[in-house]
Amino acid sequence: MQAGTVKDHVLAGVRAAIIDLDGTMLDTVPDFQVAINGMRAEFDLAPISADAIKLMVGKGSENLIRTVLALDFDAAGVEQRFEHAMDAYQRHYLAVNGQFSTLYPDVEAGLAAMKAAGLRLACVTNKPIAFALPLLKQKKLDGYFEIVYGGDSLPQKKPHPMPLLQVCADFDLAPAKVVAIGDSSNDAQAARAAACPVLTVPYGYNHGHSIHDTDSDGIVNTLLEAAHFISMHNRPAY
């Protein structure tokens, strides 16, 4: 599927959107790089590149830190150092959270257009909630969302459907009326399992794989384009 295209009819009846954070609204890899390399320095390990980190993010902090440690240690060594590494990473991340991250094009315009069209908005991210909430506030995005769930807000995180189904229950909407928008297979798999329509963006991280290989209902270049498609499929017929 080409960017800027959406399957017919899948967005009909959509009344809400669930939007991912890292790689969808914000390029947060520069924050990750500072925090991860700060942690690695405490273990006397060499810094790693932003390109390497891009391949690791998206599956939650625990997976991220284990993957980073696995660059230098075997499985036993990773587990031996994991708790200390997580503490160090969280300390460094909280110190820089948002300072080096940047908004992708048309994010705020897209959110504003969705709100203006009457959509209810939720942010569902695998980032810990203690990182997600201050980041959204710092970037002045928090006011757009009725609900924010982090990777530790519920017993399961994406690609499990639980966070998406929880939003549907919170909004009292059937999954078919709640579109998920994200940058990775995690978002698409969670949406498919929840029976929500799903749109993906062609930028972001997606674990090093092309978003064109991900099973979604459409690829939108920006959140503003997503808002346009949602509105277009929900215009009243005269």
Q: Measured in whole angstroms, how far is the alpha carbon of residue 159 from the centre of its chain?
A: 11
For the chain, what is the mean pLDDT?
93
Q: How far apart are the first and last CA of the chain?
A: 31
User: Which parts of 41-103 are beta strand (E)?
Assistant: 102-103
Task: Verify that 117 and 213 share a domain, yes or no.
Answer: yes
Residue 7: its pLDDT value, please?
86
Task: Verify that 89 and 194 share a domain, yes or no.
Answer: no
User: From the annotation, which residues make up the binding site for Mg(2+)?
Assistant: 20, 22, 183
Residue 1: its pLDDT value, please?
66
- Residues 187-222: tens digit of each pLDDT: 999 999 999 999 999 998 877 787 888 899 999 999
Residue 72: its pLDDT value, please?
97
Task: Verify that 43 and 148 share a domain, yes or no.
Answer: no
Of 53, 70, 96, the last residue of a domain is 96
Task: Verify that 19 and 47 share a domain, yes or no.
Answer: no
Of 71, 96, 121, the last residue of a domain is 96
Number of domains in the chain: 2
Among all chains, which residue has been given the structure tokens 């390497």? 52
Asked if the model's pLDDT at residue 236 lies above 70, the reply is: no
Cβ atoms 193, 160 nearer than 8 A: yes
How much of the chain exceeds pLDDT 90, in percent?
A: 84
Higher pLDDT, 184 or 6: 184
Looking from the CA of 39 toward its CB, the CA atoms found within 13 Å total 28
Residue 58: its pLDDT value, please?
75
Region label for 12, one of left (φ > 0), alpha (ψ between -120 and 50) or beta (otherwise): beta
Residue 139: its pLDDT value, please?
97
Q: Is residue 20 annotated as part of the catalytic site, yes or no?
A: yes
Run of H or E including 163:
helix 162-171
Strands 147-149 and 120-124: parallel
Q: What is the DSSP letter of 198?
A: E
Looking from the CA of 140 toward its CB, the CA atoms found within 13 Å total 5
Q: Measured in whole angstroms, how far is the alpha carbon of residue 182 from the centre of its chain?
A: 6
Question: Would you call 148 helix, strand, or coil by DSSP?
Answer: strand
Residue 135 structure tokens: 């980041």
Task: Verify that 156 and 74 share a domain, yes or no.
Answer: no
Asked if the model's pLDDT at residue 101 lies above 60, the reply is: yes
Q: What b/e sequence results for 183-208 when a residue is b if at least 16 CB atoms lie within 10 Å of its CB, and e otherwise? A: bbbbbbbbbbbbebbbbbbbbbbbee
Task: Verify that 12 and 37 share a domain, yes or no.
Answer: no
Residue 91 is part of which domain span? Answer: 28-96
Task: Verify that 124 and 204 share a domain, yes or no.
Answer: yes
Question: Would you call 219 helix, strand, or coil by DSSP?
Answer: strand
Q: Measured in whole angstroms, how far is the alpha carbon of residue 117 from the centre of its chain?
A: 22
**Catalytic-labelled residue, pool 8, 20, 152, 187:** 20
